[in-house]
Structure 1
Amino acid sequence: MIENRPWMAVFSHAILIFGVFIVALPVWVALVASTHPASAFGSGHIPMWFGQEGFANWQMLLVGSDGQSSQLLKMLMNSLIMALGITFGKIAISLMSAYAIVFFRFPFRGLAFWIIFFTLMLPVEVRIVPTYEVIANLNLLNSYTGLTLPLIASATATFLFRQCFMSMPGELVEAARIDGAGPIRFFFDILLPMSRTNIAALFVILFIYGWNQYLWPLIVTTDDAYYTLVMSVKRMLSVSEGDIQWNQVMVSTLLAMIPPVMVVIAMQKLFVKGLVDAEK
């Protein structure tokens, strides 16, 4: 029996409100800073309310002084292409890998899965030198293929889809076989609809993973036409002469936050259901 303790409810809500405050405070500071001139931060005091330069700051970075599309929007598009390429690539390869491992019988099937699983110990940061050499030898530097191809394999997604497929009853496969469904039809008409929530949950996680990539784009791109938005924030902070334009940095930071937040909001229900729903 659960006792009714009003003080416990008040305490729980106080903890939640405090947590929201801690998380939202940096976002609020960035939003306020994007509305002030750069000189407002020269004294070391951070303003906590909106200024008068918000429209001018956003217009300068998004539109540019000449009225044409700025480099920041190009970087935003590069980040979007990279994030979507990594996300769809990881999901597609992981789905096919898990499907082959679970539903097909071939020699060394278990060994193939464990080899894939062991690659969890080899993230891109560990194998970055040989990966860069392969991409350079294939002439894929400064290209969208070079940005996305080395990052589209995912042992984690393969493992999750494998567990999802293994939870499906064997009678389902037999029924599909009796109805004359081949492997391709079974995959597209039965497995994919039943894995919809898992795909949605992984889509959110993998999109944020691809969007926040910094080290790999920094290494494989030397042409500013392929720079990503996360790289632009770091470049704005690396000023050798003069003061850091904090208002522009905050505008870029807020702009970099918008696509992941939109993805999370748009797929929130499917994301939560894919993580907590036990019914397959």
Structure 2
Amino acid sequence: MATNDLTPVGADTEASRGVRVATGHSSRRQLLSKVWQYAMLVALAAIVIGPLLLTLRQALTPPFQWVNKGRPPYPVEIAWKDRTWFTGGPVSLVGRTLVVLFLFAWLQKVAADLPWTRWRQLLTPARLVAILGGTVVLAVATGPAFASLHDADGRSQWLVLAAMVAVFATQLWGYLDGGRRKVGYALVQSAFTAFGLVGTAVIFVGPEVWTTSWGRYDLGSAMFRSLIMAVLITVLQVTTSIMSAYAFVFLRFPFKRILFALFMATLLLPLEVTLVGNIATIRQLEWTNTMQALVLPFGATALGTFLIRQGFRGLPSEIQDATRLDGYGHVSFLTKFAVPLTRPVIASFTVISALQAWNQYLWPRAVISENSFNTLQIQLRFVSAGEVANANQAIAAALVASVPVIVLLIAFQRQIIRGLTAGAVK
């Protein structure tokens, strides 16, 4: 005989109320947790970015002018250029337009969580308005703002605000496209995009100090030499590190462990220990003031071998056994399996190698004797030592020199995170 398990109405109501209360407490805890996390992230960002902002504002005002004004808060009477978006040659115009187009496209890609391989999904009407329309609006709306800043007519803040509102309106449609973002998130993202891009355009394009420091101290040729040096050193170090790491992991030869220990022992020798002998060698070869003197002594590094070797050791041995059965040799296995599977580690070392090469000062100073061959770091030292009255221009030159590093870190940020966290979760 079937029986019905009936629950009293009052009990059901109490149970439902308890569930709702528990759900409300859980939602409130989650909200408080998110607020706390974002507050901590904002605080850490302020700690990291704060010194950069202080350096930026010091670059906008000559020190003597600041002292003569009674040391007021920075900046003091910024010298603004009389320019618009279309001022300058065609190469400069096309270059800055492509940079802004890429920034808008990258922001839309990040918001939509799309890889670059699916770039066609950025061609929807709303996202095209955000990318193309945002570029056009930024170019047109900043013109009156630059003119007002140069003329000091008192309307600058309102024109800058109007430019931000116009950019905000173009970005909102793109962030709302596809329903991936709620309205609140889209509004916040659009506001940050408009504030960041318009503010960056005003601060880094409007003041004259950037153009003055770039042209006066010949930063272009020095940066080009440093760029060539960094690229060549990075390519050589990554190539030699991959080959040596592969040999230490997958090849068999006598005294492999001893040779690897000796190889790693070179990390204990700082540059200063071998500096005198290496300089003598460079002078005997008559390589002073040449690119090979800057590049070849750093063509290999034990650090890269160690990092990539650890990545290769994490590969399952079954992969190599299977490739041998399929007839793959060492070169094919290296290029088609080992390198692609350890790409995050290799990318992380690529960034480390590029940063070390870009920031070199001691060795270039030792093998360069003519100012026409100065790398960027030597040129910056020369500027800071000889320009006391225009110290803000030296600061501006240093900030300009940091742009390639920032671009490199942004471009490889995912690979860096993956490489640093590789093997953290089993």
Q: Is the pair's TM-score, using the shorter chain for normalization, greater than 0.5?
A: yes
Q: Which has the higher contact order (CA 8 A, sep 6+)?
A: 1
Change (3 A) 1:74 1:210: same
SS of 2:254's equivalent? coil
Mapped partners of 1:172, 1:8: distance in 2: 43
Give the structure 1 partner of residue 250 of structure 2.
Answer: 103
Partner residue of 2:357 out of 180, 188, 210? 210
Tell me, yes or no, if the aligned pair for 2:345 and 2:422 is still in contact at 8 Å.
no
* Structure having the higher Rg: 2
Tell me the amino acid that sits aligned with residue 162 of structure 1: R
Matched, 1:37 2:62: yes
Give the structure 2 partner of residue 135 of structure 1.
Answer: 282
SS of 2:377's equivalent? helix
Tell me, yes or no, if the aligned pair for 1:33 and 1:47 is still in contact at 8 Å.
no
C-alpha deviations, 1:174-221, integer Å up to 9, x for none?
211111111111111111111211111111111111111111111111
Matched, 1:229 2:381: no
Mapped partners of 1:35, 1:12: distance in 2: 34
Matched, 1:53 2:118: no
Matched, 1:276 2:302: no
Tell me, yes or no, if the aligned pair for 2:348 and 2:419 is still in contact at 8 Å.
yes
Give the deviation of 1:275 after TM superposition: 1.2
Tell me the amino acid that sits aligned with residue 216 of structure 1: W
Mapped partners of 2:265, 2:391: distance in 1: 43
C-alpha deviations, 1:228-275, integer Å up to 9, x for none?
222222212223xx7342121111111111111100001111110111
C-alpha deviations, 1:1-42, integer Å up to 9, x for none?
xx9598887776555444433332321122223322353345
Tell me, yes or no, if the aligned pair for 2:214 and 2:397 is still in contact at 8 Å.
no
Mapped partners of 2:296, 2:268: distance in 1: 19
Tell me, yes or no, if the aligned pair for 2:213 and 2:394 is still in contact at 8 Å.
no
Aligned positions of 1:64-143 closer than 5 A = 64=216, 71-143=218-290
Tell me the amino acid that sits aligned with residue 180 of structure 1: G
| 209-218 vs 3-12, which moves further | 3-12
Mapped partners of 1:114, 1:88: distance in 2: 24
Give the structure 2 partner of residue 185 of structure 1.
Answer: 332
SS of 2:402's equivalent? helix
Query: Normalised by the size of structure 1, how large is the TM-score?
Result: 0.86
SS of 1:125's equivalent? helix
Mapped partners of 2:392, 2:316: distance in 1: 56
Segments of 5+ residues of structure 2 without an aligned counterpart are: 1-25, 81-206
Mapped partners of 2:328, 2:393: distance in 1: 57
Give the structure 1 partner of residue 53 of structure 2.
Answer: 28
Give the structure 2 partner of residue 254 of structure 1.
Answer: 399
Tell me, yes or no, if the aligned pair for 2:61 and 2:75 is still in contact at 8 Å.
no
C-alpha deviations, 1:61-101, integer Å up to 9, x for none?
3345xxxxx62101111111122222111111111101111
Change (3 A) 1:45 1:211: farther
Tell me, yes or no, if the aligned pair for 2:61 and 2:78 is still in contact at 8 Å.
yes
SS of 2:253's equivalent? coil
Give the deviation of 1:46 after TM superposition: 7.3
Tell me, yes or no, if the aligned pair for 1:99 and 1:162 is still in contact at 8 Å.
yes
SS of 2:252's equivalent? coil
Give me the identity figure in percent. Answer: 32
> RMSD across aligned C-alpha pairs, in angstroms?
2.6
Give the structure 2 partner of residue 62 of structure 1.
Answer: 214
Partner residue of 1:176 out of 303, 315, 323? 323
Tell me, yes or no, if the aligned pair for 2:66 and 2:76 is still in contact at 8 Å.
no
SS of 2:48's equivalent? helix
Segments of 5+ residues of structure 1 without an aligned counterpart are: 65-69
Change (3 A) 1:42 1:85: farther
Mapped partners of 1:46, 1:131: distance in 2: 50
Give the structure 2 partner of residue 166 of structure 1.
Answer: 313
Tell me, yes or no, if the aligned pair for 2:245 and 2:309 is still in contact at 8 Å.
yes
Tell me, yes or no, if the aligned pair for 1:201 and 1:270 is still in contact at 8 Å.
yes
Tell me, yes or no, if the aligned pair for 1:233 and 1:249 is still in contact at 8 Å.
yes
Higher helix content, 1 or 2: 2
